[in-house]
Structure 1
């Protein structure tokens, strides 16, 4: 792997500071990155709970409420590649701070909204903040933690924040809405995002690696059309299937044009295509798509089935999901050690396969009134997520030169959101095909498990000639 340029080398290096001082600064840097990721994930979780009181307050239509949730996801998907490139070009810390500032301001705008459309605009602006924040945070980990074992431990803790957000998001949102109203779910995250913004200057060194690349506007436009079209088609697939099909076709055309442009740009491209010649990187992309395809489909359909069949009420459903999140949080910090001992191939592909087995259990228990099998399947899914999430991020950013860490971070996040978007849309369609309920959940879970196991097997095969 080529050495990064001097601008990419962290200023907090062992040669400059004592080991203890370096560890303290890195610890503070990890706290800062985890705070930002936690805030972004909690914000996504609590907004889903707030749609009903928001609708009642503004007398909003179902379509408007759908866009309260989806405007964030759409803008996030469209601008991910841009966020990753900007981090590499203009400074990872600078883009991280910009993203945190935009996210904080957008969240305040949401809290102060006087109309549902103002709230939707605030959510879209929050998606822009997240598109800058998330790739930069992963790229910073790649640059600051040069040693792969240390980076694995840092990524395990970083990944645990996703599980922690899942664990606290629903109960926190419910409590805040019940006692303080829907605006409180936005106000509650502002102090945390503000703290991350204040800590970043003290804890995170600046780094950038232009390496002859530029904004590459034609690729930006077609890449945004491709990603945005995929997200929009998934969002509209149930309500407007004809429109969704037309947008999806446009997205495919945009993707083909994007590839043609990038092929001609070579190493200066927005997404250098030679990244996909790296087997480990390809494997991480495939496994990540499989992981989020099944996982997000499960988190969408399992509570929906519980509520629809009267098995649990909303509060009970939220509580029933907490054990899975807690297992995810408990396992994730150890994923780096497991990767060092058994190899990334085992933890990533094995973790995705474990999630698939969890979905099989959930599907098998769908016709049964008891939720015991479903809980066992969710626990397995949490274990698999804990095994795989951090190592997958580590493989993706560690397989490429540090100069391309922002782009690699953006691409692995593209894989995450693409898998999640397709999983919710396709498994939701299968669920609706047999009119939902237990039969719909069983069909969707078995299909999701099949996709996950296939992706795990394909990712394993991609790296079969490489040592663990």
Structure 2
């Protein structure tokens, strides 16, 4: 084996490990959220921010990382971000309060998003031969998918065998191992003509995403005037972002690509997946644990039914795309995803609801996400010229993560509103409105004892809280299902009457 081949293998191992870490931090953490409620005293909003801090941070660095890596060296930037990810994971595991964990998660998201972006650039340069590059990206995609697909089970197993901290601490030695392989295998590369950072675009977009997420997440705590002020500031930040991208000589987003119908139709696929499937995985463990009474290990195992089809369906998805075009493949995937959510709602509403009644819906939703993901990625990059593929991929991933961040907040708001509506109908005026709102938030976080001091009579308070929780989750499943179906129709319409067939698929990512 030649030295170049050996270096390429070492580089591939290091990059794949880094991408595995990125995926695990998205899908393994939801399983331990209920544990964090007890050990850190985290309330429902804290739990939302523990997840969303990571996602929002990722969006702030995606487009900037490519420029920094091109200018200062792709190997150097990836090594720095891998070290930072390990340090941030250590800080997460050592956190003694919800606030400290949220701050550490934000740092972890900054490093994770940058690390993930660097991995694409490193592999593209490291493997110059087309066939070798294709094989490398297939291996990278599979490992990334394992991180996302098996994350819930891995998180549940860790909680069963050790303390919750190890869900984060396990990434420290893994990051060190990845760093060793990156150092030994990756060849340094730069772009002498690298563009300048679009600081105005980065700052305004980050402020807009954070503002909208904060507005939705903190809805119950904000007065009317403050709510209006934050909403207006977020809109102004987004308007400033649009203006900055129009006047910048090095914009993050070239909005002219949205005139390309296949690109815009495919973007609906990325938005649709993160409108329903990925934000719901944050809350589904609460339903399994508090709604159905399963422990963390069982919950993690059950979540495999939700995620495994995502890993198994790409070959079928690419066959459909090659045979019928992206105009059929992407809307079909979103439609299947929507049907899965509606089936979950039926299963959750069954009189003797259990994992068995929920299983058909979770499997169908997983099939839907698997049918949607790779055609979306391949179409967004394949519908533009080769020199704009990186920018198109950046817009695709950014659209996904921005939609994810906002919908994590929306799902939390809907869950609380659904529980609140059920309690209000059941209790009437027997409980003060502020206490009712507080109880709804506690129940949304899985605390079924929230009504113990407020309910008297034949119906136990835990039964009422349980029924309210199930009712709230019904709202989430309905929202996710109908939203995916609407976006499927919108995608089909945007594509137009022609079909899009990308026979030679580009390497795809398994980003949420």
Q: Normalization by structure 2: what TM-score? A: 0.74
CA 1:253/1:34 → structure 2, altered by over 3 Å: closer, same or farther? same
Match of 1:421 in 2: 405
Mapped to 1, the partners of 2:10 and 2:323 lie a distance apart of: 27
Question: How far 1:130 sits from its partner (Å)?
Answer: 1.5
Mapped to 2, the partners of 1:287 and 1:204 lie a distance apart of: 33
Question: How far 1:198 sits from its partner (Å)?
Answer: 2.7
Does the 8 Å contact 2:349/2:470 carry over to 1?
yes
1:379 and 2:363 are equivalent in the alignment: yes
Matches within 5 A, 1:6-45: 31-45=13-27
Matches within 5 A, 1:147-158: 158=140
Match of 1:252 in 2: 235
Question: Cα RMSD (Å) of the superposition?
Answer: 3.7
Larger Rg: 2
Question: How far 1:38 sits from its partner (Å)?
Answer: 1.7
Provide the secondary structure at the position in 2 that maps to 1:231. helix
Provide the secondary structure at the position in 1 that maps to 2:267. helix
Does the 8 Å contact 1:83/1:410 carry over to 2?
no
Mapped to 2, the partners of 1:388 and 1:163 lie a distance apart of: 14
Q: Of 277, 292, 310, which aligns to 2:259?
A: 277
Q: Of 395, 408, 421, which aligns to 2:379?
A: 395
Provide the secondary structure at the position in 1 that maps to 2:303. helix
Unaligned runs of 5+ in 2: 420-467, 502-512
Mapped to 2, the partners of 1:232 and 1:355 lie a distance apart of: 28
Q: Say which is worse superposed, 377-386 or 29-38, in terms of deviation.
A: 29-38
Question: How far 1:364 sits from its partner (Å)?
Answer: 2.4
1:460 and 2:443 are equivalent in the alignment: no
Match of 1:191 in 2: 173
Question: How far 1:245 sits from its partner (Å)?
Answer: 5.2
Match of 2:480 in 1: 448
Unaligned runs of 5+ in 1: 1-16
In the alignment of these two chains, the number of paired residues is 449
Match of 1:231 in 2: 213
Q: Deviations over 1:338-387 (max 9, x none)?
A: 54454444433322222112112112223112343421111111112222
CA 1:320/1:183 → structure 2, altered by over 3 Å: closer, same or farther? closer
Question: How far 1:293 sits from its partner (Å)?
Answer: 0.7
Mapped to 1, the partners of 2:131 and 2:322 lie a distance apart of: 6
Does the 8 Å contact 2:217/2:409 carry over to 1?
yes
Match of 1:11 in 2: none
1:288 and 2:288 are equivalent in the alignment: no
Provide the secondary structure at the position in 1 that maps to 2:109. helix
Mapped to 2, the partners of 1:111 and 1:35 lie a distance apart of: 20
Match of 2:441 in 1: none
Q: Deviations over 1:376-414 (max 9, x none)?
A: 111111112222223322333344455555543332222
CA 1:147/1:418 → structure 2, altered by over 3 Å: closer, same or farther? farther
CA 1:53/1:135 → structure 2, altered by over 3 Å: closer, same or farther? same
Mapped to 2, the partners of 1:69 and 1:272 lie a distance apart of: 29
Question: How far 1:415 sits from its partner (Å)?
Answer: 1.4
Question: How far 1:302 sits from its partner (Å)?
Answer: 3.9
